[in-house]
Structure formats: C-alpha cells, structure tokens
C-alpha cells in the first residue's frame, strides 16, 4: 500500500508541475493576445487547470486495464470534477478571501458580474441535461448522441460569447496582465512560438502523469477493497484538480477576483459540457446512488451561486464556505455506503 501511495504521489507531482507550466504559458498567451481577464480566466486558465482532470477520464476510458474499472474511473472523474469545483474549490476561495481580507482591504469576493453569470448559466444548462439523460434507457442511443452533440456545441457557443465580450471588458480595465514571465523565456526569447512549445511540452507531461495516476488508482482500490467509483469521485478530482486551485487562491490574495473565480467557473463549464459528451459517447453513462448524490449536490451548489449572482447579493466568505458543507455531506454519503 505504501508503494501504491508513493506511485500516486509521484504522478501527482508530475501532473501538478505540468499544469503549472501549461497555465504559465496560457497566461502569457492571454496577455499577448490582449484578451480580458474573463477570457484568460474562464477559458485559457480554466482549460489549462482542467487538463489533468480532463486527461484522467480519457486515459481511463481508452487505456485502462479493465473495461469495467476504466469506465467507472472515467465516469467518476467526469462527474467528480464539477462537483469538487462547485463545492470544495469555492469553499477554498471563501477561506482565502477571509484570510487575506486585510491585504485585500475588502471581505467580499467581487468577480466581474456578467462573466460569472454567463459561466453559471452555461454550466447549469449543460450539466443538467447531461445528468438527466443518464436516466434514459441505453436503447435510446440516438437521443443520447443528440444530447452529446448539443453539449459540445454549447461549449463552443459559450467560448464565442465570452470572447465577444472580451474587448469591452478590456477597455473597462479588465485586461489580462502577466503575473510571471514565460518560463521558457529564461532560456529562449519571449516569443509566441515558444509559448506554443511550452504548451505542447506541458500537455505531453499531463498525459503521461494522468496515465500513471489512473493505474495507481486502480491498484489502490484493490488494496483498500474500496469501490472504484467512490475512490474516483473522491480522490481523483481532489488530487488532479485541487492543487491547481492554488492559482485561484493566489489571485484572491492579490485581489484579482475575476481571474480567481473565472478559473473555477470556466473549468466547470468546460468539464460540465465537453467531458459528459465524451462520457455519453464512450460509456454506458448509467446512474447509481453515489453518482446521483454527486450530481444533485453539484447542481444545488451551482444554483446557490447563481442565486447570489442574479440577486446581486454581496458574495462574502461565509456564503462560499457554505459550499464546503455540501462536500462534507457527499463524503458522508460515500463512506456510509462502503
């Protein structure tokens, strides 16, 4: 068991380092293209930090040792990521805002309103239909394929809407600023070509790390005699996604609330639309009690955030910390079933 945990840790380190390299390149790309913080946070940074969690289900489905186990790890990771982001990641943002309130000179979290509203609307739409389609018979294949196509198209429409709003937001003072120089610029010239090179290097490392992590989860599940679906819902999303939320905490600390929250909600849209579409195409996409609990809590947590936005309620740390309670509720449900 110690050996399995060590292997998981090694691959986790690879994933985290690779995601950091990718995010650094993505931020540099956003600044060079003069996009708004909304585009850089909700699309570039969100996709970059979501890549580890994205690669885990893909690698699990295509390259797992056992088809049944691979599908369980894949579905668990697909549904577990938005759940973790809407509950535990938001909890961390609330904690960070409280801890750094003196430095920030404000207690509330104030992301750009229209972007946050758009992110949550697209996520609630996409994730809801992805969840409810799982209750249809597997023989309704044509309907399921149609829903998967709708999910893919909805994400690309979301990207177009976000980019369309970018110019006006940048003119209002929400333009992206580089927090760090491109890592490769320490060796080579700071040029767009090397931004792309760094992106590709990071992507290769992420795929390698995700492949090793999936195998590690399978072995650990056997050692602990624990259902793979439970392990993949609880451990995989935290291990691959949560470390990268350090970026959001750093942005909160520096008062860049739009980047911090957009990094999370943008990842929710990405993982709540494209990944379920892949799951619907490639797996049976069936619902059990654990998956149902995860999905319902995800929708509840996201709806809670959306209510705060549309009612224009000041988003204070306690309101975000409340989302952490929902995560604890799910952990209790999973452990009670083991």
pLDDT digits (tens, 9 = 90+) for 87-134: 989 999 999 999 998 888 888 998 888 889 999 999 999 999 999 998
Higher pLDDT, 97 or 173: 97
φ and ψ at 36, to 5 degrees? Answer: -75, 165
Per-residue pLDDT of 241-292, as tens digits, reads 655 577 788 789 878 888 889 889 988 999 899 888 988 887 778 777 777 8
Q: What's the rounded Cα separation, in Å, for the pair 17 and 11?
A: 10
pLDDT at 6 over 90: no
The per-residue pLDDT for 155 is: 94
In which band, very low, low, confident or very high, does the pLDDT at 297 lie, cut at 50, 70 and 90?
very high
- CATH for the stretch 2-172+189-331: 1.20.1420.30
What pLDDT is recorded for position 102? Answer: 86
Tell me what the mean pLDDT of segment 199-211 comes to: 79
Question: Does the pLDDT value for residue 10 go beyond 80?
Answer: yes
Of residues 206, 227, 238, 219, the one with CA closest to residue 81: 238
Which pLDDT score is estimated for 71?
55
Q: How many other β-carbons are positioned within 10 Å of the β-carbon of residue 222?
A: 12
Of 35-44, 107-116, 217-226, give the range with the top mean pLDDT: 107-116
Rounded CA-CA distance 313/109 in Å is 11
* pLDDT mean across residues, the chain: 80
**In the block, residue with structure tokens 């509840």:** 300
pLDDT at 124: 97
3-state secondary structure 221-279: HHHHCCCHHHHHHHHHHHHHHHHHHHHHHHHHHCCCHHHHHHHHHHHHHHHHHHHHHHH
Q: Where are the domains of the chain?
A: 2-172+189-331
* DSSP one-letter code for 45: I
Per DSSP, the three-state class of 175 is strand
Q: Looking at per-residue confidence, does 251 or 71 come out higher?
A: 251
**pLDDT-derived band at 164, boundaries 50, 70, 90:** confident
CA–CA separation, 233 and 104 (whole Å): 34
Listed in sequence order, the residues at least 6 apart from 81 whose beta carbon sits closer than 8 Å to its beta carbon are: 50, 53, 237, 241, 267, 271, 275
pLDDT confidence bin for 84, thresholds 50/70/90: confident
By the 8 A CB rule, do 212 and 312 touch?
no
pLDDT in tens, 176-201: 555 577 888 778 777 788 888 888 88
């Amino acid at each position: 068991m110690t050996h399995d945990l060590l292997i998981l840790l090694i691959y986790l380190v690879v994933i985290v380092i690779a995601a950091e390299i990718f995010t650094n390149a993505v931020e540099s790309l956003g600044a060079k293209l003069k996009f708004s913080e909304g585009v850089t946070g909700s699309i570039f940074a969100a996709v970059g930090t979501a890549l580890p969690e994205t690669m885990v289900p893909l690698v699990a489905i295509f390259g797992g040792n056992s088809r049944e186990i691979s599908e369980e790890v894949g579905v668990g990771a697909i549904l577990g990521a938005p759940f973790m982001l809407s509950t535990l990641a938001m909890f961390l943002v609330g904690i960070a805002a409280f801890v750094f309130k003196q430095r920030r000179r404000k207690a509330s979290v104030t992301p750009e309103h229209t972007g946050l509203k758009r992110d949550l609307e697209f996520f609630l739409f996409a994730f809801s239909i992805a969840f409810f389609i799982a209750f249809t018979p597997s023989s309704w294949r044509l309907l399921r394929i149609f829903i998967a196509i709708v999910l893919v198209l909805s994400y690309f429409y979301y990207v177009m809407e976000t980019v369309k709003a970018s110019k006006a937001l940048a003119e209002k003072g929400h333009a992206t600023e580089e927090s760090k120089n491109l890592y490769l610029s320490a060796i080579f010239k700071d040029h767009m070509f090397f931004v792309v090179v760094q992106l590709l290097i990071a992507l290769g490392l992420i795929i390698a790390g995700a492949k090793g992590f999936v195998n590690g989860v399978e072995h650990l599940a056997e050692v602990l005699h624990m259902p793979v679906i439970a392990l993949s819902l609880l451990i995989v999303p935290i291990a691959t996604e949560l470390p990268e939320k350090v970026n959001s905490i750093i942005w909160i600390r520096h008062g860049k609330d739009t980047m911090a929250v957009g990094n999370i909600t943008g990842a929710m849209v990405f993982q709540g639309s494209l990944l379920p579409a892949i799951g619907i195409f490639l797996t049976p996409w069936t619902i059990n009690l654990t998956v149902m609990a995860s999905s319902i809590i995800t929708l509840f947590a996201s709806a809670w955030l959306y209510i705060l936005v549309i009612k224009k309620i000041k988003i204070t740390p306690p309101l975000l910390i409340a989302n952490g309670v929902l995560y604890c509720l799910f952990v209790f449900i999973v452990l009670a079933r083991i």
